Amino acid sequence: MGVCLVRGSRDLNCGFESLPFNQSYFNVQRPYDVPENQRYSFINGVRRCWVYSTDKPHNPTSNTLPRTEIAIHGYNYTSGVWQFEGYGYVPKGTSGVCIMQVLGASPPPHASTAMVRVYDGNLTHYRKNVLAENIYDKWFRLNVIHDVES
């Protein structure tokens, strides 16, 4: 798993094929008692998700913490080398949130292969490995390359 924050103009897309991608690949998970438009928006090309610590989980029987997330479906992600690229923006004061994750770790008991999170203004791989410091109130480009077999 390679996780990097890109600063500069290197083309990390070289060697990868761009795949069709539209709203039909998205599943927005949000508190079960709140309408989607109160936790997710897509305006002028920017997707925005927000969650509050007082929110309920995404379904009434879940024991997970509150979340608003976009789960992406539609491609077989069980073999090969895959790339995720996106831009992020984290408002000051946000902490403990997951920006991006790859599910399906092997071997169990872990649920994820990678998690990119924010703690106290730092972008981290899980909790400890700092990828970038002081990211609050700035746009950043995130590029994750995942070799499933490795």
pTM: 0.79
Rounded distance, CA 33 to CA 94, Å?
Answer: 22
Q: Which amino acid is residue 43, in one-letter code? A: I
pLDDT recorded at residue 107: 64
Pairing of β 46-49 and β 81-89? unpaired
What is the helix, strand, coil percentage profile of the chain, to 5?
5, 45, 55
Helix (H) or strand (E) holding 6: strand 2-6
What share of the chain has pLDDT > 70, as a percent? Answer: 87
Which whole number is the average pLDDT over 96-124?
84
When pLDDT is cut at 50, 70 and 90, the band that residue 4 belongs to is very low
Check pLDDT > 60 for residue 92. Answer: yes
More confident residue, 10 or 145: 145
